[in-house]
Amino acid sequence: MASGLTTTEALLDDPKKKFNYDDFLEHIGQVGPFQRRATLLLCWPAFFFGIIIMCSTFTGAVPRYRCYVNGCENATVNEFQPVWINHTVPWYQGDPVLRQCRRYNVTWNVPAQCLEDDIVDVDLVKCHQWVYDTSLFRSTIVTDFDLTCDDEWKQTFCNTLYMTGMLIGASTLGNLSDVLGRKKSFTVTTLLLATVVTLSAVATDFWTYAVLRFLCGVFNIGFFLVLFVWGVEAVGQDYRLLCGLIYNLITSIGSILLGVTAYYVRDWRTLQLIIGLPMFSLLILHWYVPESIRWLITKKKFTEVRKLVLMAAKMNGTSVPERFLIRINRDENAAFHNEKKAVNSVETIFDIFRSPLLFRRMVIMFAAW
């Protein structure tokens, strides 16, 4: 080792060693102001990931409902359990719950007839209109789209579509960030997610809502994967676990805040707008969070690497050793001369199986989930 040089500095003298961001962080600090700014700003969008997953708990809630009885209902107020209900809608055997999907096959002409007790051996017919109990929720997708009786499966189907969307998004949009970069991918997925979440609030029929919910799943997981990787890559190795835990904690806090909001907002369309519209404000992070230096290094964008390295050192109150700049310049020149000869290698999921370490980690994560 050359006299007076640290281990890191000595390694930088090795002509075969490429620029390593972790070596740089060892010099300026693994979690200085530059890294903290990026990591903490990305806590803001992390709130929305859990909110969007859990919002169907409230927007898709199934309230109590019963058949609408022509001739008996109040023209201005649909009371859920009026005094005449026992004479028009049958009860379940041994269960004090109103029959939700059947009514007596009787025509009532005036409200007074609805109180008569002479209904004996009358056939039941399917209901085609319903009255909902609005004591808990003023409206949900169930009440707006009449997802009742034979159509009640559609509410669960929406949740299945959402999880299917997450599966597709996780397997596709993660690669997008490796191609476009963390910043561009975050901006694209945020814009798309905010749009579909907001449009869900004005869906006029069930199938439109279902498609939008599916797209929410696709873009939400892609949105979270990008911000998670982007934030974790900003800090040094010793702080990556802590950073990841913080993002997951904030996701849980977002879910709690959703519950508090839903307590005061009982209309599903209003709640959907409260979730979707603020997400457009996340687009300003494109100008405040720098691109991942680690990603720039893998893509050999050393001009941008040099610029951000100097910015990081300045914000952290340190200076960049000349060896680092020499290393960046040398790698940039090498990348320029080899650009036409080199064949871009794109990493795929199959590369995991070629690495014993990555494969072992994948198996552990699979078992954990």
Query: How high is the pLDDT of residue 8?
Result: 46
Q: Which of 40-44, 257-261, 315-319 has the lowest mean pLDDT?
A: 315-319
Min mean pLDDT across 80-89, 177-186, 266-275, 284-293 is at 80-89
Question: In the chain, what percentage of residues exceed pLDDT 70?
Answer: 83
pLDDT for residue 337 is more than 80: no
Out of 71-85, 106-120, 127-141, give the one with best mean pLDDT: 127-141
| pLDDT score recorded for residue 67 | 86
Predicted confidence at residue 12, as pLDDT, reads 46
- The average confidence (pLDDT) of the chain is 84
Structure tokens at 41: 């700003």
With a CB cutoff of 8 Å and minimum separation 6, the contacts of 330 are none
* Cβ atoms of residues 286 and 186 within 8 Å: yes
| Domain annotation for the chain: domains and CATH numbers | 7-59+155-339 (1.20.1250.20), 65-133 (no CATH)
In tens, the pLDDT along 148-197 reads 988 999 999 999 999 999 999 988 887 888 889 999 999 999 999 999 99
Contacts of 73 (CB under 8 A, 6+ apart): 131
Q: Tell me the CB-side half-sphere exposure of residue 194, using CA atoms within 13 A.
A: 14
Residues 6 or more apart whose CB falls under 8 angstroms from that of 303 comprise 332
What is the pLDDT, as a whole number, of residue 11? 45
Q: What is the rounded average pLDDT of the residues 335-342?
A: 51
Closest CA to 126 of 156, 100, 94: 100
